[in-house]
Structure 1
Amino acid sequence: MDSAREQEIEQQTRAHQRTLTLTLGLTLTVFIAELVGVILTGSLALLVDVGHMLTDVTVLVASTITAVLMRRRPTASKTWGWARLEVITAAAGSTILLLVGGYACIESALRLFGVEEEHVHDIGLMLVFGLIGLSANLVSLVILRSSHKDNLNMHAAFLEVMNDALGSVGVIVAALMVMYLGWTDADALIGGAIALLMIPRAIRLITKSLKVLLEETPHGLDLKAVRKHLARVPGVVAVHDLHASTVATGMTQLSAHIVVNGNLSDGQRAEILRSMQMCLRTHFPVSIDHTTFQIEPEGYEQRYESTMHIHA
């Protein structure tokens, strides 16, 4: 990776760190306020919102730490640095969100079907805390909006705050319905509805994270097409042991064994390498900057296997 690219990544991670720290401070303040609100009002919708906030705080703390660690350079023991940590953070945060959503659905059903006789104690306070939460979430969304597509870490943080904003809207709507319509079950119903909306989003983010952790082929990259393009490079006879995966957002890697004509010079082999690297950086929808090619002269594999059999 060239120095210009390294500087760009360094500037981006510094910006992410500042953004996440600011958002974390705001979210933590509102979380404490809403937690007091749950104790005072007994609102399920507000409880779901606090669950959102707890998830937000957890993810934002982890995301901020991740943004700091991702600035560290690779070492002999961590050759990719801490880049993979962003994926682990996203998976952990979305798992917490999924658990909160499941709990809220169960609690909503218990209240709606009369298993638990729990109602809101103070509708006015519930409305106030809903408005405070929504205001804070909107400010956080504005802060995160410009960078939420940069990587999974930032996307997870943005998704958490967006879901929490939805929760705050639900709290406000439930409070207004109880206040003006007298429908006390509105709190439990809307709390459950918000929880149901949380679950699919959490599952999608978990799925994306697992695909990276399982080292699946990067989305949008057709390995069959890659194999055909590499095989067309002059001097290449065959391509085998082709693998591609994602280390972290914007960091894809590919490795392959390239069989070439046995009579090629070192200069010709170097030209083959250059051609393949350029092809993978520019030709496909997913740009691959990290490539590892093993150049094998024709007949190398058969000779190697023959030697192995003799020594065995």
Structure 2
Amino acid sequence: MSHSPQGSSPQITDDEERRRRLTWTLTLTGSVFVAELVGAAVTGSLALLVDAGHMLTDLSVLTASLVTAILVRRKPNSMRTWGWARLEVITAAGGALALLFVGLYALVEAGLRLFGGADDGIRDVGLLLFFGILGLCANVGSMLILSSRRSDNMNMRAAFLEVINDALGSVAVVVSAVVMMTTGWVGFDAVAGGVIALMMIPRAFLLLRNAMRVLLEETPDGLDLTAVREHMERVPHVVAVHDLHASTVSTGMPVLMAHVEVDDGLTMEQASGILEQLQECLRRHFPVSVSHTTFQLEPVGYRSRHPERVHS
């Protein structure tokens, strides 16, 4: 299907806007990561160290997201027929795994500090509060930068989720500093570190699950293949539908393919009409879940005459 120049311009503008926002967020996050790393070394805070580790994860995800946003604009070729579209899913999966690792490490370290006597104490609570507020301000700024584009694709959604997690982590650091300043209990820093980790892990699992669903080519959410088959088999001259598959290449790219058994002896004009009716049927009843279709028309009895060509 050809696209007019007028139709392609907004897409180019959206891609450029996403890259700009990712670049701004990456710069802001990188600056605060360095500051928090220094702050963790100076104050001895586990909460701040975990938050800095989380920001390091953010840096890797944001960097990969930016690279992905650049690569996905490259046109498909004979080697990569879908271009680099699938890269956004791989990026999201990698970021989720890194986030999960950081969260589990933080839980272990928090347990050691609370119950294993590994807590050396906080050296400067006031400085800890300063770095917590600095990180929170940076995260709020990053959220504002990414918020309007967070629903564009899985890549942008992963970046936005990372920033939200960081913001919650910074809130925990601030609360930890305030509690220690008012109560004098330095063990609360380890509690805050564990809380940050507990906020990381469920979101990491969610992001990893969504990415794996795409990589495993599961049926897109909300698409009932039984209903799809029933609608297709109502098209005139369609006898049966088999080898029906649906999956997602990347965000906004659901695909569907099927072998369609039709009446024997049809002309090319009639076959062309069946293809048009099948596509119109899916566009009308499943407009969101199906955007790219591939149909193979087969005359009645084709499977029994050519069993070696038929997939289960």
Give me the whole-angstrom Cα distance separating, in 1, the residues matched to 2:165 and 2:135: 12
CA contact (8 A) 1:281 1:287 kept: no
State how far apart, in whole Å, the 1-side matches of 2:309 and 2:179 are.
80
In the TM superposition, residue 305 of structure 1 has moved relative to its aligned partner by: 3.8
Do the aligned partners of 1:44 and 1:191 also contact (CA within 8 Å) in 2? yes
Alignment partner, residue 3 of structure 2: 3
Which whole-Å CA distance do the structure 1 matches of 2:287 and 2:77 have between them?
30
Judged with a 3 Å threshold, the aligned counterparts in structure 2 of structure 1 residues 139 and 307 are, in CA distance, closer, same or farther, namely: closer
Q: For residues 233 and 6 of structure 1, do their structure 2 counterparts lie closer, same or farther at Cα, with a shift above 3 Å needed?
A: farther
How many angstroms apart in 2 are the aligned matches of 1:306 and 1:142? 56
Query: Given the superposition, is the C-alpha separation of residues 7 and 226 from structure 1 closer, same or farther in structure 2, using an over 3 Å criterion?
Result: farther
Gaps of 5+ in 2: none
Amino acid across the alignment from 1:276 = L
Q: In structure 1, what is the equivalent of residue 73 of structure 2?
A: 71
Q: TM-score normalized by structure 1? A: 0.95
In the alignment, what sits opposite 1:240?
242
Is the counterpart of residue 262 in structure 1 residue 264 in structure 2?
A: yes
Deviations 1:111-153 (A, max 9, x none): 1114303211111110000011000000100111011111110
Does the aligned pair in 1 maintain the 2:220–2:289 contact within 8 Å?
Answer: no
Give me the whole-angstrom Cα distance separating, in 1, the residues matched to 2:284 and 2:90.
29
Task: Give structure 1 regions of 4+ aligned residues with deviation exceeding 4 angstroms.
Answer: 4-8
Q: How many residues align?
A: 308
Residue 56 (structure 2) aligns with: 54
Query: What is the distance in 1 between the residues matched to 2:226 and 2:87?
Result: 30
1:149-228 equivalence runs, <5 A? 149-228=151-230
Tell me, yes or no, if the aligned pair for 1:253 and 1:291 is still in contact at 8 Å.
yes
Q: Say whether the 8 Å CA contact 1:27–1:57 is kept in structure 2.
A: yes
Could you say which residue in structure 1 is the equivalent of 2:42? 40
- 2: CA distance between counterparts of 1:237 and 1:8? 42
* TM-superposed deviation, 1:73: 0.4
Amino acid at match of 1:29: S
The Cα offsets for residues 245-285 of structure 1, whole Å up to 9 and x where unpaired, read as 00000001111000111122212211111111122233126
Give the aligned residue type for 1:97. L
Q: Structure 2 matches for 1:296-307, cutoff 5 A?
A: 296-305=298-307
Equivalent residue number for residue 289 of structure 2: 287
Deviations 1:72-100 (A, max 9, x none): 00011000000000000000001111000
Label 1:281 to 1:8 Cα distance change in 2 as closer, same or farther (>3 A). Answer: farther
Does structure 2 retain, via aligned residues, the 8 Å contact 1:48–1:104?
Answer: yes
Whether contact under 8 Å (1:220, 1:286) holds in the other structure is: no
How far off its partner does 1:304 sit? Answer: 2.3
Unaligned runs of 5+ residues in structure 1 are none
Normalising by the residue count of structure 2, what TM-score does the alignment of the two structures yield? 0.95
RMSD of aligned C-alpha atoms? 1.6
Query: In percent, how many aligned pairs have the same letter?
Result: 57
Residue aligned with 1:82, SS: coil
Could you report, residue by residue, the CA deviation over 1:46-94 in whole angstroms, capped at 9, with x for unpaired residues?
0111011101100000000000000100011000000000000000001
